[in-house]
Amino acid sequence: MDTQPPEPGAVPPGKPPPAANLQAHAARMEEAMRVAGIGCWELDLTTDRLYWSPQIFEIFEIDPARFPASYQTFLDLVHPEDRAAVDAAYLASVRERRAYAHAHRLQMPDGRIKHVLERGETFYDAAGRPLRSLGTVQDVTARVSAEQALRESEERFRRLVQRGWDAILLLDAQGEVRYASDAIERLVGHRPDALLGLGAAHLVHPDDLEIARTELRRLVEQPRRPRIAEYRVRHLDGGVRHLEVAATNLLDEPCVRAIVLNCRDVTERKAAEQRIRVMEYAIGSSLNAVAMGESSGRISYVNDAFLRLWGYRSPGQVLGRPMREFWDDPAAAVEVGRRLLHAGSWEGELVARRGDGSRFDAQVGASLVHDGQGRILCLMGSFVDVTERNRAAQRLRQAASVFASTEEGVVISDPRGVILDVNAAFTEITGYDRAEAIGRTPSLLRSDRHDAAFYEAFWAALKNEGGWRGEIWNRRKNGEVYPEWLTVNAVRDADGELINYVAVFSDISGLKRSQAKLAHLAHHDALTDLPNRLLFLDRLSHAISRAERDGSQLAVLFTDLDGFKSVNDALGHYAGDRLLQEMAGRLAGAIRKDDTVARLGGDEFVLLIERLHAPEDAGALAGKLLEALAAPFTLDGQELHVTGSIGISLFPRDGNAAEELVQRADAAMYAAKATGRNAWRCYAPARTEGAPPERDRAAAA
């Protein structure tokens, strides 16, 4: 038996509560309705007397002293497009004897639009005649605006996310595929509809199958706990891909009821752009949550929306607990309470913690309720989950920052290819400013270096694969043609409809120049800029192939200066280098444009002469070259006289391989030197027998 004395103010059993308690309770409930934006009305159908609570006058923004409650006054406020439906809803409820709920708009005198939710019910006498109607009007403008803003934010966020190439799978508890996004075809080769009803393990490589099954069991056992794993999957073409799979069990989430797999092809991602993570979320209740608390901070009342938002089943799990327990940072909640007591109201955001430990961002509006003597009756708070709004806003800020600051050019166009926006890097690379580009198509950059087949393949990849990447040549505003590395993705909405193309490109002109310079250095002599041995042998091999096809002859002339070492010893290496450069110029000037002169090293030069009419033509050219070399060279005002020796080998007479022809021309040149220099000789085995090979010639000289 409870022997504790009753608490002060407690009402003994069987006695009605004191008037003061009833007034306090009425004040609390009235304040609760005010905070929730709800007003009540009553219509006496026998006298046509209509009553509006103060909250309705406040919602309708009507001065009760000037405009008493009337049905016509109410209809005048209803938006013209909604009046007939509002009137019909009420009349139908009276006629059919049922309660009704109807959402509609109010048009205020200054043109503003309010959204209200109206509920009502009519009561009848024993004869079935209507006696009175009771109802409520709730201002849901903020809720409707928040829902619209959230939908718009979600759609913008969805468009940005769709730039990624991740595939989404939804599985049931047995691991069978219920949904597959279009991107799965790029990852595994199967069309999405071909996977429906199949076990996801059907795609997994046999060596990873047991791991996948274990992960599925853990997912089913641990709802809402994301798990990330990497698997090998079998592509329809027989290849193997590596996928990173982020899986979450949302079987208990009403809006999803599935195991969600976010599949990313990390085979390419390891060498590609930054990762894009697709976030899954659900929209909670759209009605504001409301709670009342004692001055001590303990909760005394919550509505159903509060229970849904925080994840509790009954008020008994919440009532009597300190409000700070429902926030992720209790110290921050205590500070809000201190400010509330000081200022009487507070608005802002806090991170809330649900009963299952999960967190969400809450928009909070709190105020103190006072009695007639100014004493605090209770604390009132309304709460809205703004987690997804904040996440979307953060994503949008990040995307806008990347768009504005990236060094790569970005172009966003509509499905027809008309440019909607470009970033600053686009202007810097192409020379076209934003105003010049918007409204036009990317063809304004076309260089005409690509044929129709190139663009057909380009558009086919966009249509069939959703994207294209590769090298392309474009033209700047100033007419300069330049190479760029381009990536284009097709962006689709939730229904799979194409809404945008997004192109990202970078100027690779510098890279191309570096590659060309390296290629030139690899195949040319640094001193004379003539082809080196590697390039010469390549050209000679191709010339031999051409000569074999058309039955023509060619000649290789191996040239060496007589006494070049004496020039180096007497005048120094700088003078020797100058002499070699002059020699290179004379040799190049003495041959046809299609022929080749190359420097093999030191004072050794070799010439390729194609399309000889007769072997004697090679000898005539050798004589011409000796005359050119015999002419005086002038270096720094000093006249030098040098001569040369030339050896000749002929194709096909003296060999049919490039190295063989060069070696035999070198042997013939050595034979020319042996006869007294300043001479030329054709290769003849008897004359050149015993001549040192090319690699020993310098030592022999």
- Which CB contacts under 8 angstroms, 24+ apart, belong to 315-321? 317/355
- % of the chain surpassing 90 pLDDT: 18
Residue (of 513, 433, 442, 515) closest to 475 by Cα position: 442
Tell me the Ramachandran region of residue 230: left when phi exceeds 0, alpha when psi lies from -120 to 50, beta otherwise. beta
Q: Name 681's Cβ contacts closer than 8 Å, sequence gap at least 6.
A: 646, 647, 648, 668, 669, 671, 672, 675, 687, 688
CA atoms within 13 A of residue 606's CA, in its CB half-sphere = 31
Residue-wise DSSP of 470-501? EEEEEE-TTS-EEEEEEEEEEEE-TTS-EEEE
Strand order in the sheet with 643-651: 596-601, 604-612, 553-562, 643-651, 680-682
Mean pLDDT of 138-153: 85
Report d(CA 523, CA 539) in Å as an integer: 11
Q: List for the chain the helix, strand, coil content (%; round to 5).
A: 40, 30, 30
Give the pLDDT score at 97: 92
Give the pLDDT score at 68: 84
Give the pLDDT score at 288: 80
Which of 163-167, 268-272, 336-340, 553-557 has the weakest average pLDDT? 268-272
Report d(CA 1, CA 19) in Å as an integer: 30
Burial of residue 274, with CB atoms counted within 10 A of its CB: 0-12 exposed, 13-18 middle, 19 or more buried: exposed
What angle, 0 to 180 degrees and rounded to 10, lies between the N-to-C axes of helices 141-161 and 387-405? 40
Burial 7-20 (b: 16+ CB within 10 A, else e): eeeeeeeeeeeeee
pLDDT bin (cut points 50, 70, 90) of residue 150 is: confident
Q: Would you tell me how many other CB atoms lie within 10 Å of the CB of residue 127?
A: 5
Give the pLDDT score at 32: 65
Give the pLDDT score at 259: 86
Residue (of 185, 260, 181, 266) closest to 232 by Cα position: 266
Q: Would you tell me how many other CB atoms lie within 10 Å of the CB of residue 583?
A: 23
Q: Would you tell me how many other CB atoms lie within 10 Å of the CB of residue 405?
A: 10
Mean of pLDDT over the chain: 81
End-to-end CA distance of the chain: 128
pLDDT bin (cut points 50, 70, 90) of residue 15 is: low
Residue (of 447, 440, 435) closest to 486 by Cα position: 447
Q: What type of residue is 528?
A: T
- The answer to whether residues 184 and 200 touch, using CB atoms and an 8 Å cutoff, is no
Report d(CA 450, CA 497) in Å as an integer: 29
For the chain, domains (ranges, CATH) are 19-140 (3.30.450.20), 164-269 (3.30.450.20), 289-390 (3.30.450.20), 406-512 (3.30.450.20), 524-700 (3.30.70.270)
Q: pLDDT at residue 12 above 60?
A: no
Strands (E), 235-371: 240-250, 258-265, 289-293, 299-302, 345-353, 359-370
pLDDT tens track for 220-264: 787 878 888 888 888 888 888 888 888 888 888 877 788 888 888
Mean pLDDT of 623-635: 87
Report d(CA 189, CA 264) in Å as an integer: 14
Q: What type of residue is 258?
A: A
Burial 551-560 (b: 16+ CB within 10 A, else e): eebbbbbbbb
pLDDT tens track for 65-112: 888 888 888 888 899 999 999 989 999 999 999 999 999 999 998 999
Handedness of CA 201, 207, 213, 216 (dihedral sign): negative
What angle, 0 to 180 degrees and rounded to 10, lies between the N-to-C axes of helices 533-550 and 509-523? 80
Give the pLDDT score at 26: 55
Which 8-state DSSP code applies to residue 627?
A: H
What angle, 0 to 180 degrees and rounded to 10, lies between the N-to-C axes of helices 564-571 and 573-589? 140
Q: Name 70's Cβ contacts closer than 8 Å, sequence gap at least 6.
A: 50
pLDDT tens track for 410-456: 888 888 888 888 888 888 888 898 888 888 888 888 888 888 888 88
pLDDT bin (cut points 50, 70, 90) of residue 282 is: very low
More confident residue, 280 or 63: 63
Which of 55-59, 214-218, 302-306, 644-648 has the weakest average pLDDT? 214-218
CA atoms within 13 A of residue 348's CA, in its CB half-sphere = 11
Q: pLDDT at residue 468 above 50?
A: yes
pLDDT tens track for 527-581: 888 898 888 999 999 999 999 999 899 999 999 888 787 777 677 778 888 888 8
